[in-house]
Structure 1
Amino acid sequence: MEEKIILLTHGDWGKALKSSVEMILGKADFVSAVALTPEMLLAEFRQAVEAAILAEVKKAQEKHVLLHITLMTDVFGGTPTNVAAVIAKEREDCAISVITGLNCPLLIEACTQISFGGELDIKKVLASCQSSIFDVMEKITGK
């Protein structure tokens, strides 16, 4: 099974996040990003997401491998998440998961799993990343 991650975000934050993660981990060719820009209509954004998915499906078909795509979105209830959920329910040519709450530790954990293990365990990614948000000063001072 081939794993791909597509970041769906408001603005170019997904592209910038991918670049930052690659600074830490190295190249992550299995990650791409689709930005929702202010001038885009809902239908245009959905079309851009569908095109990104279709490109990955075609590559997997050429290699004769099964494909799992994880759509990572920035905000629950936002357009990227809503579009991702609708597409994930409708598509039948590949397995699609949707995770929201995108942040750097989440993407690092997912990329690490794919790079070193070949597959993505979403439950482990979520469990690992839920502990990545905390008050730093409280943690280091105990106050």
Structure 2
Amino acid sequence: MGNGEDNKAKPTGHLLIAHGALAGEMLSALEFISGKRPNYQALAIDHALDVDRARRIVEDAVDKLMGQTGVLVFTDLFGGAPSNIALSLLEEKNIEIIAGVNLPMLLHSTTLADDMPLAKRALVLREYGRENIFIASEVLSGKKK
């Protein structure tokens, strides 16, 4: 997409970046449950991949996914290579980053309005992800609802 006008009709982009095959598997699980998601992409960061090359790959994916409110980047671990590479683009691209992605937040991301501002989208999804972490024995004993 060459200019901002081209992105006004595009839904918010969602980029999953993680160590090894995790991002691809999470996207596969998401699409198994909710159907194909053209505005979602997964990238695997391999320890053998040169950091500059990895950054270019991530930057290209962000540019491809850029939607009307930007791109929300999900990473597996804050401080890990996928997160650090995404962080290097934070100032120059219209992105927000959520580190510590889980499947409930990804599923919920498919239900949010396309025009929801990126910062609000990130806050909503972070909270939803937190709310959907359970200890089974607490749920079964009635301690957590």
On whether the aligned pair clears a TM of 0.5, the verdict is: yes
Change (3 A) 1:16 1:34: same
Match of 1:78 among 74, 77, 80: 80
Q: State the 1:4 CA deviation.
A: 0.4
RMSD: 1.8
Aligned length: 130
Q: State the 1:118 CA deviation.
A: 2.4
TM superposition score normalised by structure 2 = 0.81
- 1:124 corresponds in structure 2 to 124
Equivalent positions of 1:1-143 (< 5 A) are: 1=8, 2-57=11-66, 66-91=68-93, 95-113=94-112, 117-120=113-116, 121-142=121-142
Q: State the 1:112 CA deviation.
A: 2.1
Q: State the 1:54 CA deviation.
A: 2.4
Q: Which has the higher helix share?
A: 1
Unaligned runs of 5+ in 2: 1-7
Consecutive aligned runs of 4 or more in structure 1 exceeding 4 Å deviation:
none
Over the matched positions of the two proteins, sequence identity in percent amounts to 27
Kindly provide the CA deviation profile for residues 46-101 of structure 1, in whole angstroms up to 9, marking residues without a partner as x: 111012122234xx6xxxxx35101110001101111111101123xxx2111110
TM superposition score normalised by structure 1 = 0.82
Q: State the 1:26 CA deviation.
A: 1.2
Cα distance in structure 1, aligned partners of 2:105 and 2:115: 15
Letter in 2 for 1:110: S
Cα distance in structure 1, aligned partners of 2:44 and 2:22: 8
